[in-house]
């Protein structure tokens, strides 16, 4: 069964920058070799900034990470393309850009427009703790006034708001702001809280809100989000898949593996090992069409309908 893959979240760009490695040659979970297994490969590259850096330094780090990726030989040659809209089917590997932890806007509202100009299309505004944006999943706080301003401007420009890492209050406020603009909300890399009750996973109420907004949900392979004790194997993904499907997410469930940003089940060494996920689902009598939807079609349809902008020129 030959598959395409559209993955909603990885930290590979951060690792490539930190290790001075390229897309073609690296020791990471995502590379030219590991993605060559797919008929078509589309990836959201999240620019995450280490929390040990202050907000201003974080902005500078994001700019540097983006520059490193754009100067990658695979991107310059056109073998890998950076995009702001869905690429045609059967095209070269394509990368969307996202920001994870918008604290790097650092009280500067104009940075939302600058981020959009820099081709950022997925905004994961929170990561941990309380920031200038608001409260993350491990707090009780909601969005700050600045955070509300950021989300409002981002969704009005055409970015997609992502509640992965948001507190319950922050997520609720993100739903309200995006809804006022008629825009969807996603969870790019979160699992089901009913299966694994950690703060980073989604409640049934949040799942319902995402689906009603027209958003999508990316399954996260971090072992501690699959199973609370962190001793997870690939089979621990199945209860999450079943829980989402039972709540009507068959056309919204996607992959958001958190590649190069977490501890993966031992069966997954690189993103190329996603074929093992397909094999597991087939053995559980999931249809080939559902697997194709989960791996690619749901995310592709979402991006085609909701992401806007011009293809990046080099």
Distance CA 143, CA 130 (A): 9
- Please give the full DSSP string across 57-115, using - where no structure is assigned: HHHHHHHHHHHHHHT-HHHHHTSSEE-SSPPPTT-S-EEEEEEE-GGGGTT-THHHHHH
Tokens of 85: 């809209």
Residue 295: alpha-carbon gap to chain centroid: 14
Q: Up-side HSE of residue 197: CA atoms within 13 Å toward CB?
A: 1
Q: What is the largest CA-CA distance in the chain?
A: 51
Crossing angle between the packed helical segments 274-283 and 237-246, to the nearest 10 degrees? 60
What pLDDT was estimated at residue 301?
97
In this prediction, residue 308 carries a pLDDT of: 62
Both tokens of 154, joined, read: 């981002």
Q: Residue 312: its pLDDT value, please?
A: 39
Q: Does domain 5-306 correspond to CATH entry 3.20.20.140? A: yes
| pLDDT of amino acid 131 | 98
Written as tens digits, the pLDDT of the chain (314 aa) is 889 999 999 999 999 999 999 999 999 999 999 999 999 999 999 999 998 999 999 999 999 999 999 999 999 999 999 999 999 998 899 999 999 999 999 999 999 999 999 999 999 999 999 999 999 999 999 999 999 999 999 999 999 999 999 999 999 999 999 999 999 999 999 999 999 999 999 999 999 999 999 999 999 999 999 999 999 999 999 999 999 999 999 999 999 999 999 999 999 999 999 999 999 999 999 999 999 999 999 999 999 999 965 433 33
Show the tokens assigned to 135: 């409260």
Predicted TM-score (pTM) of this structure:
0.96
* Six-digit token string for 143: 């969005």
Q: What is the pLDDT of residue 167?
A: 98
Give the pairing of strands 185-186 and 160-162: parallel
Hey, what are 146's tokens?
């600045």
By the 10 Å C-beta count (0-12 exposed, 13-18 middle, 19+ buried), 42 is classed as buried
CB 188 within 8 A of CB 162: yes
């Amino acid at each position: 069964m030959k598959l395409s893959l559209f993955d909603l979240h990885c930290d590979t760009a951060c690792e490539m920058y930190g290790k001075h490695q390229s897309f073609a040659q690296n020791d990471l979970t995502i590379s030219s070799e590991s993605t060559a297994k797919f008929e078509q490969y589309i990836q959201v590259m999240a620019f995450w900034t280490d929390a040990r850096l202050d907000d201003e330094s974080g902005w500078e780090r994001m700019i540097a990470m983006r520059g490193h990726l754009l100067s990658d030989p695979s991107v310059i040659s056109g073998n890998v393309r950076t995009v702001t809209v869905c690429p045609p089917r059967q095209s070269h590997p394509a990368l969307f850009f996202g920001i994870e932890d918008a604290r790097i806007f650092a009280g500067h509202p104009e940075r939302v427009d600058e981020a959009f100009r820099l081709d950022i299309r997925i905004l994961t505004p929170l990561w941990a703790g309380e920031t200038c944006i608001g409260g993350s999943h491990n707090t009780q706080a909601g969005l700050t006034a600045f955070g509300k301003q950021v989300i409002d401007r981002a969704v009005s420009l055409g970015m997609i708001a992502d509640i992965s890492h948001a507190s319950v209050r922050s997520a609720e406020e993100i739903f309200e702001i995006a809804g006022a603009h008629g825009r969807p909300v996603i969870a790019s890399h979160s699992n089901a809280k009913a299966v694994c009750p950690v703060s980073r996973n989604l409640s049934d109420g949040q799942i319902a809100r995402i689906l009603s907004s027209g958003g999508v949900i990316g399954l996260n392979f971090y072992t501690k989000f699959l199973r609370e004790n962190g001793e997870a194997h690939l089979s621990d993904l199945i209860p999450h898949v079943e829980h989402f499907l039972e709540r009507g997410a068959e056309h919204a469930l996607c992959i958001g593996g958190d590649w190069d940003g977490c501890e993966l089940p031992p069966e997954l060494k690189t993103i190329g090992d996603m074929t093992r996920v397909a094999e597991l689902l087939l053995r559980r009598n999931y249809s080939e069409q559902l697997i194709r939807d989960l791996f690619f079609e749901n995310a592709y349809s979402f991006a085609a309908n909701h992401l806007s902008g011009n293809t990046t020129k080099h």
